[in-house]
Amino acid sequence: MLGDMPTPSTSVDVCMYDGFGLNSGLTITGGDGALLVNGEAFVWRPWEANESKHLLNSNGQFELPNEALGVFDLLWPRPDLLVIGVGKHNLPLSPETRKNIAKLGMRVEVLDTRNAAAQFNLLATERGVSEVAAALIPMGWKEGVGAGVA
């Protein structure tokens, strides 16, 4: 069905313990996350936005500081969907983060990083990179430490 569709250069070829390999040949390593928006790839460190290296709230829910999604305040038009990869295991998204993403006019899908990358690849190929964005935490990310090299 998607045989004639070109693969976006920001497609994730491999999810590594401490980063990502993209279809363009770009490799993000050192424990950094990846923010894939409008066909561009950015190093993403949401754990630095709140200076505490914590992305889990007291209820064990994945919670992003508003500053971690600041690029979407500047972007117009915004993607319709943000796919978030929360690390090795899936976690629930906090209601506060869900509300903040909704205020930006985007829907959100939360998965473990490997499945989030696969979902992004499929949807970005099918719908285009302007409609779908991804925010991915490395597979080795540890709460309270941040970078996946702990």
Write the pLDDT tens digit of every residue in 61-96: 999 999 999 999 999 999 999 999 999 999 999 999
DSSP string, 8-38: PTT-EEEEETTEEEETTS-EE-TT-EEEEET
pLDDT on residue 89: 94
- Tell me the per-residue pLDDT of 94-107, one tens digit each, with 9 for 90 and over: 999 999 999 999 99
User: Which has the closest alpha carbon to 12: 139, 128, 119, 94?
Assistant: 119
Among 3.40.1230.10, 3.40.50.300, 3.40.50.2000, 3.90.79.10, name the CATH number for the domain at 31-136: 3.40.1230.10
Q: Which amino acid is at 41?
A: A
pLDDT band at 144 (very low <50, low <70, confident <90, very high): low
pTM, two decimal places: 0.91
Stretch 42-55: mean pLDDT, rounded?
A: 84
Name the residue with tokens 């790839």: 41
- Tell me the per-residue pLDDT of 12-33, one tens digit each, with 9 for 90 and over: 999 999 999 999 999 999 999 9
State percent of the chain over pLDDT 90. Answer: 79
